[in-house]
Chains A and B, each alone.
Chain A
Amino acid sequence: MIRVVVIGYGPVAARFVEGMLDSVRAGEVALAVLGAEQADVYNRVLVAEYAVGRADRDTLDIGDTAAARAAGVDVRLGEAATGIDRERRRVRTSTGSHLPYDRLVLATGARANVPTLAGLERSRRHRLARPHDPADLDRGARPLPRGVVTLRDLTDAELVADAVRDRRRIVVLGAGVLGMEFALAAAERGARVVVVHHGPSPMARNLDVAGGRTLALAASAAGVEMVAHSRAEGILTRTDDAGRAHFDALLCADGKQVHGDLLLLSAGAAPRVELAADAGLVVSTGVVVDEHLRSWTDPHVFAIGDCAQVATPGSAAPDGRVPGASAGLIGPGWRQADALVELLRAEAAGRSATLAPPAERPTVVMLKAEGVDVCAGGVVDADPWDADPQGHSCGRAWQVTVWADPARGGYVKLVTRGGVLEGFVCVGMPRTAAELTLLFERGSELPADRTALLRLDSTDALVAPASDPFAPDATVCWCNGVTAGRITEAIDAGDDTVACVGRSTRAGTGCGGCKGRIAELLARAGKGETVSAG
């Protein structure tokens, strides 16, 4: 039997635990899980939806702790790991106990970044500060001032939910995916929202400028105030009735003050690496692991999900920096969990793993917002005229296709190599976006005629070319495959009622749904009659 300890109990850890249950039941694996939060595992992807009241709490449930415990997993909620002793292969926890392991899985996730702003200096947690208390895992030396939140966990969500429900004015700092999703959802729910961000356009990490500007237009139309080109420098507070400092305004470098009741910090997230660093494991942006998710430093330690940084051993730059970063998305995290399950189960059963490690590939970012469709992935900043439209490099060069229609809110950019998407941006064209997502995810080749994709959102999409229902070759009676032309022939040959036409052509003698159109053809031929029902 091998002993496995998992640090962290988020969605990725939960999936790992679920995958291991058969081995636990079979007595091949002893599994213990440490979850710092008291709450059972939940889906962080939907926390923003929960905060604005679009999803209820049940929707966030994602793992079955009861089933895991019934199978024999030692699930410890509200208990944090405080240290890893790699010599003796054991984890120390906040209750003072020690969990021995043969294999250690780090699934510590990431914490929301607190930007460097005057007024928040001491609220920022140092990335290597060691944890002691499960409740203080992400806290800086001082708590965030009242009225300032991140949106990462359920506690945050409940604070935000109050502000949304009361239709307060909410300032969102940062226009990344989460910031924009929240802003749009909160506006839809009636809150007044202003988004403050750097640079000319939102979602700059995911979208090119034109795509971002199309999004900004859509967001403004949806009632979100967008404040671009603004570098935040600090916050101003006011003192509430109880004498406590409360957020009042965001102060920008150009002197602008953006007032609001709540400041939501949406400045990305950073992997929780302090335990790994403290234990002497190689850490860069995240815990550095190879493509099998094994630590570069210690073959007994693995990392999955937001805390993991997958890189080929030996790829570090001279300054020690390691390429790549965690995608920060759930899909890749779950794929990693599945791969590690396969690896450890095989090990426990004494066979070799059959599942190849998950290929690291660019993922699609999709804005979860109603009425504002934004989808993007991969390389997006290529320019149509930088590419090689003549294909002199034998199909290996980029080709870039752009469709921009800001007045109607549509924008598409396709970046392909050898006919396969290397990246794309799609705004305001949901059907095209869905198709591009699928093509990108699968790595499939695009139709050579790229406009076939754009037309998915056109009003005539998929309507048969012969749209005149009375054209001679248009089918009138589906049940019997009778065309308008055949019916007209019958009418010309003397049929003067729907029933007569039915007898000679069988039109209208199936489900009867076309009798009206047969009558119309009779009427056009000057042989009108009233069709009886049925």
Chain B
Amino acid sequence: MTRSSHCPYCALQCAMSLTPAGARIEVAGRDFPTNRGGLCKKGWTSAEVLDTTDRVTRPLRRVDGGFEEVSWAEALDDIARRLRDIRSSHGADAVGVFGGGGLTNEKAYQLGKFARIALGTSRIDYNGRFCMSSAAAAGNRAFGVDRGLPFPVEDLDDARTILLLGSNVAATMPPFIGHLAGARAAGGLVVVDPRRSETARLTEDGGGIHVQPAPGTDLVVLLGLTHVVLAEGLADSAYLAERTVGLDELRREVNRWWPERVQEVTGVPAAQLRQVARRLAEGRAFILTGRGVEQHVDGTDTATAAINLALVLGLPGRVEGGRAVSGYGTLTGQGNGQGGREHGQKADQLPGYRKITDPAAREHVASVWGVPPESIPGPGVPAVELLGMLGREVKALLVHGSNVVVSAPDAAAVTRALDELDLLVVCDFVPSETALLADYILPVTQWAEEEGTMTSLEGRVLRRRRAIDPPAEARSELWVMRELARRLDAPGTWSTDAAEVFDELARASAGGIADYSGLSHARLDEGVAAFWPYPAGSAGTPRLFEDRFAHPDGLARLVAVIPRLREPGAQRGGELTLVTGRLLEHYQSGAQTRRVPELVTARPEAALQIHPATASRLGIASGDLVEITSPRGVTRARAEVTSGIRHDTVFLPFHFPGAERANTLTEAAVDPVSAMPEFKRTLVSVARVEEVPA
């Protein structure tokens, strides 16, 4: 029977139909407001991962030189025993949990609960720290809530201008670009990217404007745009007066950033800044940010500056004829990057986007979990700090839906640290690079083999449905957590039925910011468009901020941000700035897509984009093998010579492991507010490698 579900990959969560065909399933696009029946190459081929030849189908235990199959009982008994031992010798916080933004809401919720009341550890965080934490922090402080897009995606269709900062949607979520068509037709797609990315090329032929700042200077670009809006009287004064606070301080700060001064820092022509600012002020404008501007040590401030610009123009919360006519949003990346950041995987958070330090929140959640509030640990530490504790404060790590060996900054250091652990347990369906270092690999179900929910980039809760049986011994993580909880004598109930776990999540979230209490699997199966907050008795909230922002006084905060004027480093002697990012054919650490033959054939290896003038100076031709070196290590890639990148910048995709791993080069420096790592500005040198014929 054909089941309706959604794609296993990105946060656009394209709708799919899954039809069993023998032992396999066939995937087809399904009509839905986000993808309108379309799928990208990754989606079309997603079923290939279900029966990939090296699928993990039975629990594996590390033995000398490899792994041996063991029974679930043997694996779980031993893991539980070792977790108890570590806890009794080093304390509960010696066990860490690392989650993922691809887990269903039910798993993410259960994992947060498992960490707090079964393991008793505060040390849980997740890979969403690497993608959404800066935009989330900025949204929370400006609006009092963080829902990536506070309006449905299709509201973008009528935009006259869309300012897209640091997002290459044409490669990362291709069906999304259908929603840019209106702005392109109006000549109003403005893409800010140091690269002539696939998305930047959508501005060609009258589609709009490509703004190409030097990497890491986006914050100053945004201050310059805000300066022009205020200086030229383009601000929405009535809106600012009625709906915001903080204008005076903001004005004084952006007054320092007139366009010519911005040009000195960013390389963006003053005239182009004025042109973009004026265009934005013509109405029906949206501002969207992505990882390119957020994955920096000043990422929170940069997202804040984008929000400030939107507020000064009066964009957020403007609804006419039942549609948002303008607004601000951040484009969430991972499949459940939105839901994954709402229900307790974050170090400082309880379900419903509650703060773990808030006594009322603790009391409410404790009552749902059936434990005393004081038994819930306090805030833990964010991902990069957690990974830095491995082998020292943290002796055991449980990894769910994450491949930190490829995806974490300064990945070589992380890999070494994983080796120092007394116990590493990885739940995965393929032997990912991280799983291969584990003491136990526990086989879990994939998207088409399980029930659950995902929350898309627009804050819409979607049903994931089972269309095929999992292979051999693969089990849902809900089952794994129940079995471990039982062996650890944990309090609380541990259902393995996703619908029941969802009901518990809904109760736990009731009254929180991300309130799901009016939802259930049954309700979702009726086909409601379920945008949160969706309190019991409501019909959800497709569009936020129409009447008020989520702060107690209903006003948005303009937060004046001051760029830390790092003396811009002179790039000499071949020193280049490395930016990392994604390709159309691959997803995140590549653990899934590198197992799909069609995708691997199209993109078998990492390619380093480099400008022709730079390449010729370094004696590099397209196709040459090159070595990229930073203080942290060396990575190899094929050179791809292209004029679509700045002459002082190179680009490397982060999907590849081993010698091609981009994150060997990146640094574990983080944003002071969000603890998001700096992925987009690494100083490197590049050299051609002589290839010795085999």
Contact = CB atoms under 8 A, between A and B. Distances in A.
B174 A62 contact: no
B420 to A, nearest CB: 34
Nearest to A429: B269
Contacts of B611: 447, 452
A216 B648 CA distance: 33
23 contacts: A43-B256, A46-B258, A56-B231, A56-B233, A368-B270, A430-B272, A431-B269, A434-B266, A437-B264, A438-B263, A438-B568, A441-B568, A445-B570, A448-B616, A449-B617, A480-B41, A481-B584, A481-B585, A506-B41, A509-B38, A510-B41, A511-B36, A534-B36
Contact of B271 (A63, A373, A441): A373
A395 B244 CA distance: 56
A493 interface: no
Contact of A442 (B29, B259, B568, B602): B568
Given A64-B252, A331-B261, A373-B269, A462 B210 contact: yes
Q: Which 6 A-B pairs have the closest CB atoms?
A: A479-B174, A447-B613, A511-B178, A443-B570, A438-B267, A452-B613
A67, A364, A419, A441, most chain B CB atoms within 10 A: A441
Contacts of A162: none
Contact of A510 (B39, B263, B265, B269): B39
A509 B269 contact: no
B670 interface: no
B174 A510 contact: yes
Interface string A80-106: 000000000000000000000000000
Nearest to A445: B572
A166 to B, nearest CB: 21
Interface of A: 43, 45-46, 49, 54-56, 58-64, 67, 330-331, 338, 364, 366, 368, 370-371, 373, 419-420, 430-431, 433-435, 437-438, 441-445, 447-449, 452, 462-465, 478-481, 506, 509-513, 534
A479 B256 CA distance: 42
Nearest to A50: B231
A435 B268 CA distance: 8
Nearest to A482: B41
Contacts of A462: 196, 210, 643-644
Interface string B631-656: 00000000000011001100000000
A111 B35 CA distance: 63
Interface of B: 29, 35-41, 44, 170-171, 174-178, 181, 196, 198, 201, 204, 210, 214, 227, 230-233, 248-249, 251-252, 255-256, 258-261, 263-272, 274, 565, 568-574, 584-585, 602, 611-614, 616-617, 643-644, 647-648
Given A59-B255, A481-B585, A366 B264 contact: yes
A61 B274 contact: no
Contact of A433 (B40, B269, B644): B269
Given A366-B260, A478-B177, A510-B38, 14 more contacts: A64-B248, A331-B264, A368-B270, A370-B274, A434-B269, A434-B270, A437-B267, A441-B264, A442-B571, A447-B617, A465-B643, A480-B44, A511-B36, A513-B181
B388 to A, nearest CB: 25
A452 B612 contact: yes
Contacts of B614: 447
Contact of B175 (A54, A55, A479): A479
Contacts of B38: 479, 509-512
A64 B249 contact: yes
Contacts of A54: 231-232
A61 B264 contact: no
A72 to B, nearest CB: 18
Nearest to A49: B231
B570 A420 contact: yes
Given A462-B644, A511-B178, A62 B572 contact: no
A315 B571 CA distance: 32
Given A420-B572, A441-B568, A434 B177 contact: no
Contact of A62 (B231, B256, B265, B573): B256
A534 B233 CA distance: 40
A444 B231 contact: no
Nearest to A358: B567
A511 B274 contact: no
A63 B252 contact: yes
A285 to B, nearest CB: 25
A86 to B, nearest CB: 34
A480 B214 CA distance: 30
A505 to B, nearest CB: 11
Nearest to A67: B249
B602 A481 contact: yes
Given A438-B214, A481-B602, A510 B40 contact: yes
Contacts of A445: 570-574
A447 B574 CA distance: 10
Most buried by A among B176, B198, B264, B612: B264
Given A58-B251, A438-B264, A449 B644 contact: no
A448 B613 contact: yes
Given A448-B613, A479-B38, A481-B602, A61 B252 contact: yes
A509 B175 CA distance: 9
A479 B173 CA distance: 8
A507 to B, nearest CB: 10
A60 B255 contact: yes
A444 B267 CA distance: 13
